[in-house]
Amino acid sequence: MKFGTLFAYWTQDWRGDYIPAAKKVKDIGFDILEVGAGDLLTMTDTELSELKAVSKDLGLTISSNIGPPKDKDVASPDPSVREAGIAFLRDIMKAMDRIDSRVLVGVTYTYWPGQFDDLDKPAIWARGVESVKRLGRVAQDLNIDLCLEVVNRFETLVLNTSEEGIAFCKEVDNPRVKLLLDTFHMNIEEDNLPDAFRLAGDYLGHVHVGEGNRKLPGQGHLPWEAMGQALRDIGFDGGVVMEPFLKAGGRVGEDIKVWRDLSNGADDKEMDRMIRESLSFLKKAFAG
Ligand code: MN
């Protein structure tokens, strides 16, 4: 297992400044920096090359995270929106290839956050499968793992559990199309968190970790040792990436619905100390 964090721990904006972020996460002891995949499309060639060079230099892997907007929903009833979604994610994967980022994660089978104005789940599901089949072929060509993120009921109606994710992957039937399970979402939807990881087995490509309120691993009540055991049981060797959201404000605070300060008033130095401590806790819990 390799450990990482989403860049947004240090910002209230989804737009990241990835060179300093890469240096910082490496210094803290992470192996993976998770970036906002949409940003890759607005970065210049020089910026992309620089990010690739710096991360290579640091020995850091980059995973890319996207919640596609509604006008790029690959499961939309409108064929032109579906095509726009597929083109958007294809362009992202091409940009990822340029920085040697080999894992695309997020709600790439529809859009995010869900607005629930169309509740015909079987039809949305079927269109999603067809589009993800096409995206899977792009991922395969570019040597990228497309890890579909299972999220809770308040964020999408399509994939809410490990079991649903597996069923979806089976329909897509492409070895590069896998699942991302996130402990924050799992805590809402799964009967048993370690068992949900075991069920996913070889379909599991990436893991997001955070407590039930999206605090840092070790700051809440989730069963970290038992989840680590489950990941070892299935021989999971992918990325374990934190997605901590402690500060209210900005687009990040709005999209994630952080309506209060969960950091106990931490300044920058204390934020760094807390994530360092959490990484050491997590490594211990997952190493067994
Ligand atoms: Mn997540």
Q: Which of 155, 189, 211, 243 is catalytic?
A: 243
Residue 40, pLDDT > 90, answer: yes
Residues 131-170 have pLDDT tens digits of 999 999 999 999 999 999 999 999 999 999 999 999 999 9
Supply the mean pLDDT for the chain: 97
**Distance of CA 145 from the midpoint of ligand 1 (Å):** 16
Burial class (CB in 10 A: 0-12, 13-18, 19+), 171: middle
149 is catalytic: yes
pTM of the full predicted structure? 0.97
- Give the position of tokens 């070895």: 175
- 8 A C-beta contact, residue 22 and residue 60: yes
**What's the whole-number mean pLDDT along residues 33-53?**
96
**Distance of CA 67 from the midpoint of ligand 1 (Å):** 10
**Distance of CA 149 from the midpoint of ligand 1 (Å):** 7
Alpha-carbon gap, residue 271 to 239, rounded angstroms: 22
Which pLDDT does position 39 carry in this prediction? 95
**Is the Cα torsion angle 257, 263, 266, 270 positive or negative in sign?**
negative
pLDDT band at residue 13 using 50, 70 and 90 as cut-offs: confident
Which pLDDT does position 16 carry in this prediction? 84
Which pLDDT does position 12 carry in this prediction? 87
CA-based nearest residue to 145, from 132, 156, 157: 132
Residue 83, pLDDT > 90, answer: yes
Alpha-carbon gap, residue 43 to 71, rounded angstroms: 21
Rg (CA), the chain: 18
Which pLDDT does position 14 carry in this prediction? 87
In three-state form (DSSP H/G/I as H, E/B as E, the rest C), the secondary structure along the chain is CEEEEEHHHHCCCCCCCHHHHHHHHHHHCCCEEEEEHHHHHCCCHHHHHHHHHHHHHHCCEEEEEECCCHHHCCCCCCHHHHHHHHHHHHHHHHHHHHHCCCEEEECCCCCCCCCCCCCCHHHHHHHHHHHHHHHHHHHHHCCCEEEEECCCCCCCCCCCCHHHHHHHHHHHCCCCEEEEEEHHHHHHHCCCHHHHHHHHHHHEEEEEECCCCCCCCCCCCCCHHHHHHHHHHCCCCCEEEECCCCCCCHHHHHHHCCCCCCCCCCCHHHHHHHHHHHHHHHHHHHHC
Q: Which of 149, 155, 189, 190 is catalytic?
A: 149
**Distance of CA 155 from the midpoint of ligand 1 (Å):** 11
**What's the whole-number mean pLDDT along residues 176-205?**
98
**What's the whole-number mean pLDDT along residues 14-37?**
95
**What's the whole-number mean pLDDT along residues 98-116?**
97
Residues 250-269 have pLDDT tens digits of 999 999 999 999 999 999 99
**Distance of CA 55 from the midpoint of ligand 1 (Å):** 22
**What's the whole-number mean pLDDT along residues 31-41?**
97
**Distance of CA 172 from the midpoint of ligand 1 (Å):** 21
**What's the whole-number mean pLDDT along residues 9-13?**
90
Percentage of the chain beyond pLDDT 90 is: 97
Residues 63-72 have pLDDT tens digits of 999 999 999 9
